[in-house]
A = this chain, B = another copy of it.
Amino acid sequence: MSQKLNQLKKILGEIADLNHAESVLGWDQQVNLPPKGGEARGQQLATLGRITHEKSTSHEVGILLDELKNEYAGSDSDDAALIRVAARNYDKATRVPAEFVAEQSIVTTAAFETWVQAKGKSDFSIFRPHLEKVVDLVKKYVSFFPPADHPYDVLLDNYEPGMKTAEVQEIFGSLRTKQVELIKQISSAKQVKGDFLHKKYNAKKVWDLSEIIIGRFGYDFSRGRQDKAAHPFETTFSINDVRITNRFEPDNPLATLFSSMHEAGHAMYEQGINPAYERTPLEGGVSSAIHESQSRMWENLVGRSLPFCELFFPEIKKIFPSQMDSVNARSFYKAINKVEPSFIRVNADEATYNLHVMLRLELEIGMLTNKVVIKDLPDIWNAKMRDYLGITPPDDTHGVLQDVHWSSGLFGYFPTYALGNLVSAQLWEKINEDIKDLDAQIRRGKFDSLLGWLHEKIHIHGHKYDPQDLIQKVTGSRIDSAAYIRYLTKKFSDIYGL
């Protein structure tokens, strides 16, 4: 290995260590922080962030990358991929001035705090001036990059490298019509019953069951752990330390099980990355959509499938006999897949979820291109909710103020949630070609062939291939909606007798 590459890897290794240290501090903030510990933690994270940014944008790294890019051009080795990804990261980091990053941090900190208040009072007008500032900064961010086909491309690329806005719009276009149509059919069919899901459940028993399930899926507890936090999330400190968090909501007690499966899906991806990529830019999942394809697959295509219910329902019924009185595997299956247009994205079922995402994408593009005036946002939001889901939010808390993303300057992220759903179905079709008896295996509690397939085809590669190239390589086509539509139609035709 060349001396320059060695030197580059040494610096990138330090940057990776710093990023992981920040992740540890962030995890601890969500999981363990004493009530008054927040201010100091903010300062510690700011200092680590500044040092990481300095190292990531150093002149030395720039020179090494310039020289190595030429040396490794045209190669498809791991080292060439590493240099390509490192160069892309470096280009992005150096385009954005440090003062901008500092300003953005101040603006979004205030915007986040105001959003919390505004959401509490259900009053968008409190949040509006802050959102206007955030959007101005988002536009300014885009201006640091060369003109793209669409200004939104610059934002999208941060979460889904190489993906274009036009392509997402095309995919979503056909998907929307078909999902809206499906929801209409479902709403005029006989509704399924799920009251027993909202009875009183013992929190510890649900929590323990969630760990039993994901342990059987293949989440490796010797390289991770599940802790309580306000929101479920997955975080990675190394392939040998991939943690998830979860919560128990008395109103929706079994949601804990599906959150565990979801986060374990993310975590098994991270636990499966090639160990040779540790402490390099090739570590970690390659994009938000591919990541979400893994979490949604374990949560929905496995966890909300009939074979899984046939396997696990007897166990669930043993733990919760009174709650499950006169419920069987099939009625449990129907209940956990109940479709119902609702206001809150994170609680949406599989048939309606993507529509929530499309709405947000349209608004983000509108704000970025000045076609949506921010003061009109609540009205536009509500009109689109009527269009897509046939319901009108009663207030801003259940409408435009529900998500944290915009207050944090997170623009460009939402579409990846829906793209992840699409990818999960594309992979699922391919998996079922390769593993003919997958349903039977799930019914027997055998998940190792499935996890092995994902490991070999997706996980191990880390960041080596760009997401579209990876999906093309594995499924033979780029990201598209056909498989997901087939999946939804089949599943809900069965459940609702369409």
Interface pairs A-B: 8 shortest CB-CB: A40-B238, A37-B241, A17-B47, A36-B240, A35-B222, A17-B44, A36-B223, A14-B47
Tell me whether A20 and B36 are in contact (CB under 8 A).
no
Question: What residue in chain B is nearest A51 (Cβ atoms)?
Answer: B51
Q: How far is the CA of A224 from the CA of B50 in the complex (A)?
A: 27
Q: How far is the CA of A278 from the CA of B43 in the complex (A)?
A: 11
Query: Counting CB contacts under 8 A, is A25 at the interface?
Result: yes
Tell me whether A223 and B20 are in contact (CB under 8 A).
no
Asked, given contacts A21-B21, A28-B24, A34-B225, whether A44 binds B240 with beta carbons under 8 Å apart, the answer is no
List chain A positions with a Cβ less than 8 A from chain B. 13-14, 17-18, 20-21, 24-25, 28, 32-37, 39-41, 43-44, 46-48, 50-51, 221-225, 227, 237-238, 240-241, 243, 278-279
Residues in B with CB closer than 8 Å to A32 are 225, 227
Residues in B with CB closer than 8 Å to A41 are 237-238, 241
Tell me whether A34 and B221 are in contact (CB under 8 A).
yes
Q: How far is the CA of A240 from the CA of B35 in the complex (A)?
A: 9
Question: What are 24 A-to-B residue pairs whose CB atoms are below 8 Å?
Answer: A14-B47, A14-B50, A17-B43, A18-B51, A20-B40, A20-B44, A21-B21, A24-B28, A34-B221, A34-B223, A34-B224, A34-B225, A34-B240, A35-B222, A35-B223, A36-B222, A36-B223, A36-B241, A37-B223, A37-B240, A37-B241, A39-B238, A40-B237, A40-B278
Tell me whether B18 and A238 are in contact (CB under 8 A).
no
Question: What residue in chain B is nearest A225 (Cβ atoms)?
Answer: B34
Q: How far is the CA of A43 from the CA of B18 in the complex (A)?
A: 10
Question: What residue in chain B is nearest A241 (Cβ atoms)?
Answer: B37
Q: Give, as a whole number of angstroms, the nearest-CB distance from A13 to chain B.
A: 8
Question: What residue in chain B is nearest A14 (Cβ atoms)?
Answer: B47
Residue of A35, A40, A43 ringed by the most chain B CB atoms within 10 A: A40
Q: How far is the CA of A39 from the CA of B43 in the complex (A)?
A: 27
Asked, given contacts A24-B28, A24-B44, A40-B237, whether A222 binds B34 with beta carbons under 8 Å apart, the answer is yes
Q: How far is the CA of A33 from the CA of B222 in the complex (A)?
A: 9
Residues in B with CB closer than 8 Å to A243 are 34
Residues in B with CB closer than 8 Å to A34 are 221-225, 240-241, 243
Tell me whether A33 and B241 are in contact (CB under 8 A).
yes
Q: How far is the CA of A47 from the CA of B13 in the complex (A)?
A: 9
Tell me whether B237 and A37 are in contact (CB under 8 A).
yes
Q: How far is the CA of A50 from the CA of B34 in the complex (A)?
A: 29
Residues in B with CB closer than 8 Å to A222 are 34-36
Q: How far is the CA of A43 from the CA of B279 in the complex (A)?
A: 10
Asked, given contacts A32-B225, A34-B221, A225-B34, whether A21 binds B40 with beta carbons under 8 Å apart, the answer is no
Residues in B with CB closer than 8 Å to A237 are 37, 40-41, 44
Asked, given contacts A35-B222, A51-B51, A225-B32, whether A240 binds B17 with beta carbons under 8 Å apart, the answer is no
Question: What residue in chain B is nearest A50 (Cβ atoms)?
Answer: B14
Residues in B with CB closer than 8 Å to A35 are 222-223
Residues in B with CB closer than 8 Å to A37 are 223, 237-238, 240-241
Question: What residue in chain B is nearest A43 (Cβ atoms)?
Answer: B17
Q: How far is the CA of A225 from the CA of B32 in the complex (A)?
A: 8
Q: Give, as a whole number of angstroms, the nearest-CB distance from A319 to chain B.
A: 23
Question: What residue in chain B is nearest A23 (Cβ atoms)?
Answer: B44
Residues in B with CB closer than 8 Å to A51 are 14, 18, 51
Asked, given contacts A224-B34, A225-B34, whether A21 binds B17 with beta carbons under 8 Å apart, the answer is no
Q: Give, as a whole number of angstroms, the nearest-CB distance from A215 to chain B.
A: 13
